[in-house]
Amino acid sequence: MTPQLTFAGRRADIRLEAPERHNALGPEDLRALSIALEKIERSDAEVAVIRSSGDTFCSGYDLRALREEIRVGSTSAAERAFANVVDTLETLRVPTICALQGGVYGGGSDLALACDFRVGTPHTVLNVPAARFGLQFYSGGLRRYVERLGVDAAKRVFLLAETLDANELLRIGFLYRLVDLADLDETVDTLALQLAANAKNAVRGLKRSLNAIARGMGDTATIDDAFAASLRSPETAARLSPPRDRR
């Protein structure tokens, strides 16, 4: 089954639903994810959660599809499709949470890394075997690793193809929280409520500015203009008004 999108109140949920193939993403899955992200972008949702069924969060691009694309010479299209979906997820205007109940492999690790927060369990492990398969990696994924985890951690993941356990993923900053599997859903729910409780426009603007700064593309004037505009916004006025004025 391709990834499924549902809405509940101010929250959007995407679930990867192919546990029989470790939630590997083929062309149809990527199309479904692309449509889901477009719907979230156009919706009134204030937070989005990505999770999956089974023991593996995601094993990256479907190797069966990759072998066929290599055979017919269409690998560039597959690479662009995967990279575009993950880049779109990274720039989604609402904050995103990734629930990692199990293993994260290959491009699946980049799908998780594109989210703003990752919550894992003791069953969460990461491995990117690209170098063992003779593959390099698309530029967006390498950039995210270096920006978010640093070049030394990225070299461990890509050059050594090292398997990192949950405690190490927490230490290097890949995981925001590490919780027991039984507590994963409750932890994600609490985090989603916390994000949705903040001022919507402020959260979206802050996310946009922080991502731009991380990429070395943060324009000081643009960020300061956004800050000045927020001081005059109805959103800020409503939240700063005394409690008796909010009745």
139-195: pLDDT as tens digits: 999 999 999 999 999 999 999 999 999 999 999 999 999 999 999 999 999 999 999
Same-domain check for residues 162 and 61: yes
pLDDT at 78 over 60: yes
Same-domain check for residues 70 and 97: yes
pLDDT at 242 over 80: no
Same-domain check for residues 85 and 168: yes
Q: Which residues contact 164 (CB under 8 A, 6 or more apart)?
A: 125, 126, 127, 156, 157, 172, 174
Mean pLDDT of 116-144: 94
13-45: pLDDT as tens digits: 999 999 999 999 999 999 999 999 999 999 999
Same-domain check for residues 140 and 55: yes
Same-domain check for residues 184 and 222: no
* Domain boundaries, position 228: 199-246
Give the chain's domain count: 2
- Out of 181, 196, 211, a domain closes at 196
Same-domain check for residues 146 and 236: no
Same-domain check for residues 13 and 95: yes
Same-domain check for residues 216 and 148: no
Question: From residue 207, how far is each of 48, 117, 213 by CA, in Å?
Answer: 14, 12, 10
Same-domain check for residues 137 and 22: yes
pTM of the model: 0.91
Same-domain check for residues 224 and 102: no
